[in-house]
Amino acid sequence: MKLNLEEITKELKNKNIRLSHHRLKVLEFLNDNRIHPTVDQIYIQLHKELPTLSKTTVYNSLNALVDAGLVKVLTIEDNETRYDIVTDNHGHFKCESCGKIYDFEINLSSFQSKDLDDFKINNRDIYFKGICPDCIQQ
């Protein structure tokens, strides 16, 4: 999917966030590599292209993009924070054998619980864990 830069820049402007060169690179990386990467994965890859990039900037950029609502934090496990570009509703499945994270289509807004009638729900996350088909076969 191609990023619409003008639109993104306009959205960011409302929040006084500039789409700087590094931030754009981080956003592009997430858009082009749908692997739900960790900060380290992003840093290591981008550092090859941008030798002056610091890890602090990666954290910075990610936090800015999350604040802007363009990027989502995934906390499937307590010891690894991952990032995902915001797209339509989907859940995440993590394979307990190979560690790979899969997207799966699911209509999150259809989930209702009478216990939450009086709650304002801003965000719905679904995390499944188990074994992926590749690992089942072995």
Please give the residue ranges that form the binding site for a copy of itself (CB under 8 A).
73, 75-78, 81, 91, 93, 96, 102-106, 111, 113-116, 118-133, 136
Residues 6+ apart with CB under 8 A from 97: 131, 132, 135
Q: Any residues with CB less than 8 A from the CB of 33 and at least 6 apart, and which? A: 45
Closer of 21 and 69 to a copy of itself (Cβ): 69
**CA–CA dist 55, 76 (Å, integer):** 22
Residue owning tokens 């989930």 = 111
The partner in contact with residue 100, picked from DNA, a copy of itself, none with C-beta cut-offs of 5 to 8 angstroms by kind, is none
Contact flag: residue 95 with DNA (CB under 7 A): no
Residue 41 interacts with DNA (CB under 7 A): yes or no: no
Nearer to DNA, 24 or 108 (CB): 24
CA distance 5 to 11: 10
Q: Which residues bind DNA (CB under 7 A)?
A: 16-18, 20-23, 38-40, 50, 52-57, 59-61, 63-64, 78-79, 81
